Amino acid sequence: MARPGEFELIARYLAPLASDPAARGLIDDAAVLSPSADKDLVLTKDALAAGIHFFADDDPGLIARKALRVNISDLAAKGAAPTGYLLALALPSDWTEDWIAAFTTGLKADQERYGCSLLGGDTIRSADGLMISITAIGEVPREAMVPRAGASAGDIIFVSGTIGDAGLGLVLRGDPARAGDFDLSRSDAERLVGRYLLPEPRVALAPVLRDHVRAAMDVSDGLAGDIGHMCRAGGVAAQIRIDDVPLSDPFRRALAADPSLRTRAVCGGDDYEIVCAVAPENEAAFRKAAEKTGIPVAAIGRFLDGAASGNAPVFVDGDGRPVDLGGTSFAHF
């Protein structure tokens, strides 16, 4: 009998343990607690492992900053401002003090950037490579956390920034010579690799999401897969115009050399942009508020009635024909 995949494992074995309403049935990226009359605490956890989420020989400071930022990205998508975090660090047997010094210097830099600090954690020895697990804690006004579920049929699907850079950056980080295959300059390749090594959580959009959207999540496992998660959580479907998915100039240059990269753009992970559902009557206000943050947003499709489609998102080309992606997103199992 085949073992369950990542999300089936969670649903079958872990969700039954999450009996407190704060856990939201484990269908969201965060839990929410209400310790006071005016604020809620939002809690999220992401773990990163060498060889899976980063290269073991990456700069220690960049590894640290990525580990913290991917958690802050989850908070931002929930409309929360980061306040602190817990750190579990599993170190391989060959760790050095110089490595730890560089790692903590990176953490310190991003603590100052995002206004949070270390609250505690654990440090252990690992027999199987470096692993980092962070639990990030943020605040939102009472009952203002933006859920993953909540999209309604007719809502417009918006995404921030550009999609696909980090996925292509991962390819180039593993094999720099492939920049020639994609007709990329050295600066183009460095920009793409930088998007993979050091994501930019969209914290400035957090209050905009609270005020103007019905549902949101960050794009960590791939745009196609993460929209699918929103569809299943909200009982809706989605249609996305693949030509409207925003791409950076370097990615467009690579796409001209290799058209198959369009699938990588929407299925690759590590973008850490935000995808959200905006009611049509809120579109103008959302666009105006987002513009003030300096973070671009693009409308790429709509959520639809999910009853007839099994909640599956569909990508279409300029003529409205379905595009076969050959997969949807990254999964651990």
DSSP codes of every residue in 125-145:
E-SSS-EEEEEEEEEEETT-P
User: Is 40 among the annotated ligand-binding positions?
Assistant: no
User: Is 243 among the annotated ligand-binding positions?
Assistant: no
User: Is 212 among the annotated ligand-binding positions?
Assistant: no
User: Is 286 among the annotated ligand-binding positions?
Assistant: no
User: Is 332 among the annotated ligand-binding positions?
Assistant: no
Nearest to 65 by CA among 230, 156, 201: 201
25 CA to centre of own chain: 20
User: Is 44 among the annotated ligand-binding positions?
Assistant: yes
Q: How many whole angstroms separate alpha carbon 294 and alpha carbon 283? A: 17
Q: How many whole angstroms separate alpha carbon 157 and alpha carbon 174? A: 32
The answer to whether residues 56 and 129 touch, using CB atoms and an 8 Å cutoff, is yes
The answer to whether residues 136 and 72 touch, using CB atoms and an 8 Å cutoff, is yes
User: Is 122 among the annotated ligand-binding positions?
Assistant: yes
User: Is 121 among the annotated ligand-binding positions?
Assistant: yes
User: Is 155 among the annotated ligand-binding positions?
Assistant: no
Question: Over the Cα atoms of the chain, what is R_g?
Answer: 20
User: Is 53 among the annotated ligand-binding positions?
Assistant: yes
User: Is 220 among the annotated ligand-binding positions?
Assistant: yes
- In the annotated binding site for Mg(2+), the residues are 29, 44, 46, 74, 122, 218, 221
- In the annotated binding site for ATP, the residues are 121-122, 148, 220
- In the annotated binding site for substrate, the residues are 53, 270, 330
- In the annotated binding site, the residues are 29, 44, 46, 53, 74, 121-122, 148, 218, 220-221, 270, 330
